[in-house]
Structure 1
């Protein structure tokens, strides 16, 4: 469990070291996802982030440094902070099972455009079309239309992050997200990995996650930087 705890303190870093190493771009010992896959980056040494950020923005206009308690350094000339999001990490403590009444399907490549459009409708700003390649995506369809999804994002040999939990505004309040979270959680447990998720502090969805067996474990902050 010590290894898991170590990884969870810097999940982007360890994802890019293990399961997602095919997506890594590294500058000066700072790790970034390829910009068409995900705009997350991680570091251990904050003295190296300024030079690395300048290098990375040759291929991407913006990115997030993700950190539990370190503050990245940038030069403020070529790269500036646009906003800081105070986030938190949640880890499954004990799954609270619920009845699955919906037909939940594993989404294949034919749904890439629908997934992208749904995420950007509900939660714009971070999802790329190739984010689909980071893990499995599960969805619920109504009348042939994808109306709710829950995907998988950062992951290592020890954990998998549930992400992109979104429901079309016309279908909220029906418990679709709740069922997708539980289904996704069970699929992760089948792989003998720990399910985790990240959200903003104060998110109204936190009580739902807690009811499904997740607990708050640590801060996880998201620093959005943009090229000048």
Structure 2
């Protein structure tokens, strides 16, 4: 198994050990992101997750454990499973040729509130304002309004995840997301890193990702826990 393959089996863990080390909150052998940035947690030994989740929930009311095939253990007196998201990981094979006709802007601190509002409009529930600090964000504006974005989330020295693929409902079916994903992927390749992404199984966007050159590789599941 190559180093990249090993990292992709537990992307949150390796992100928090490398590029995102400054965001890491550690409880023995379990790692979480600082809850102001992201509420993902990772582990190798599920026997360690009970005590760690109790500690982490002192700082936030909910969090995700992200795992390919392991089931976390929690203290049912304090924590309950709100939902399990059956997800999958996709890795770029070869980027398809995509014509970029839109003006794509590297977003800055002045756009944080616009990004937050757009993500919460389309995919409410997980994004935090400081999620912006995890990587570069790119956007398309129409009439001075941010209408479509992509971002970078988990990353190490070997890979960067494309995330926050969001378009305002009034501007869908115009190819904006396709161009943004292609642009973000090209920017990752410039850093000599492997572009990856995660999505729900059965997501209607999967055929688009496949047309762009991404291939389904493995399950990657999100266990959403909440404090009782």
Q: Which bin holds the TM-score, normalised by the shorter protein?
A: over 0.9
Partner of 2:148: 148
SS in 1 for 2:58: coil
Distance 1:113 1:3 in 2: 37
Partner of 2:186: 186
Partner of 1:219: 219
Partner of 2:167: 167
Asked if the contact 1:91/1:215 (under 8 Å) is kept, the reply is yes
Distance 1:69 1:25 in 2: 23
Partner of 1:105: 105
TM-score when normalising by structure 1: 0.99
**5+ long unaligned stretches in structure 2:** none
Distance 2:80 2:14 in 1: 26
Partner of 1:55: 55
Matches within 5 A, 1:1-228: 2-228=2-228
TM-score when normalising by structure 2: 0.99
Cα RMSD for the two superposed structures: 0.6
Distance 2:10 2:99 in 1: 34
Distance 2:68 2:110 in 1: 36
**5+ long unaligned stretches in structure 1:** none
CA deviation vs aligned residue, 1:43-70 (integer Å, no higher than 9, x gap): 0010000000000000010000000000
Distance 2:153 2:226 in 1: 22
Superposed displacement of residue 32, structure 1: 0.3
Distance 2:196 2:125 in 1: 21
Superposed displacement of residue 28, structure 1: 2.2
Asked if the contact 1:28/1:51 (under 8 Å) is kept, the reply is no
CA deviation vs aligned residue, 1:140-180 (integer Å, no higher than 9, x gap): 00011000000000000000000000000000000000000
Structure 1 stretches of 4+ with a deviation exceeding 3 A read none
Distance 1:132 1:210 in 2: 26
